[in-house]
Chain A
Amino acid sequence: MASETHDAAGQAASTPGLPQLDLSTFGNQIFWLLVTLVVIYFVLSRIALPRIAAVMAERQGAITNDLAAAEDLKAKAVQAEQAYLKALADARTEAQTIVGQAKAEIKAELDAATAKADAEIAARAAEGEKKIAEIRANAIDSVKEVALAAAAEIVAVMGGKADAKTVGAAVADRMKG
């Protein structure tokens, strides 16, 4: 097998052995390699590398600018927040004073109304008492009359003769007791 391989390879190549060691092709390879390298070098150094560098620098610039702009916007946002907080605090104190005023007003009104109501109640109460006293006095008088009449009747029924003066005195005495 192995010698077969060797023979076949020997027939295929004009010179047996590694194609890499075939010195007759070296000149050709080196010439085309140098051409290739020079072409690549010029393409890179004249066109490609400056262009890529420019694009990347531009992008870096854009990023820096954007970052600066973002920084600005952030500062503005912080300012706006501060202003907002200040306004909020102001509004709160104002609201506090308004609430205080309103409270005081309401209290005054309430006090006045209470006083008026108290006075009215007191007047009504006095009137009521007076009426009650009247009624009571009337009632006592009526009771005395009835008692006098009843006592005179009772005495008459018993067969006695009672003079009005004694009966009246007795009734008055009883009523006191």
Chain B
Amino acid sequence: MEGDIVQMGAYIGAGLACMGMGGAAMGVGNVAGNFLAGALRNPSAAAGQTATLFIGIAFAEALGIFSFLVALLLMFAV
């Protein structure tokens, strides 16, 4: 019985942790959208900044992956 409650808590926590992925999605969308807006204003400067774009996306996305990781840990490791 006690174990079931712990498991229930873990699964609820895993579900809650998945909300973080939505935040990462917003972050990635923000980065890409702003890059596109800037690139359309000054297309000649855009080519040199794709590396920065990917770094930004990677940073934004890493945090979403962390929340996914928390969910996985709750599901399988706790």
Asked if A and B form a direct contact in the complex, defined as CB atoms under 8 angstroms apart, the reply is yes
Residues of A within 8 A of B77 (CB): 17-18, 21
Is A16 among interface residues, defined by CB-CB distance under 8 A?
yes
Is A2 among interface residues, defined by CB-CB distance under 8 A?
yes
Is B72 among interface residues, defined by CB-CB distance under 8 A?
yes
Given A17-B77, A18-B77, A21-B77; A2-B72 close (CB under 8 Å): no
Q: Number of contacting residues on B, CB 8 A?
A: 6
Q: Number of contacting residues on A, CB 8 A?
A: 8
Distance between A129 CB and nearest chain B CB, rounded to angstroms: 100
User: Is A6 within 8 A of B7, CB to CB?
Assistant: yes
Distance between A5 CB and nearest chain B CB, rounded to angstroms: 9
User: Is B76 within 8 A of A16, CB to CB?
Assistant: yes
User: Is A18 within 8 A of B73, CB to CB?
Assistant: yes
Report Cα–Cα, A3/B11, bound state, in Å. 10
Distance between B53 CB and nearest chain A CB, rounded to angstroms: 28
Is A9 among interface residues, defined by CB-CB distance under 8 A?
yes
Please list 13 pairs of residues, one from A and one from B, whose beta carbons are closer than 8 Å in the complex, sorted by A's number.
A2-B11, A3-B7, A6-B7, A9-B76, A16-B76, A17-B76, A17-B77, A18-B72, A18-B73, A18-B76, A18-B77, A21-B73, A21-B77
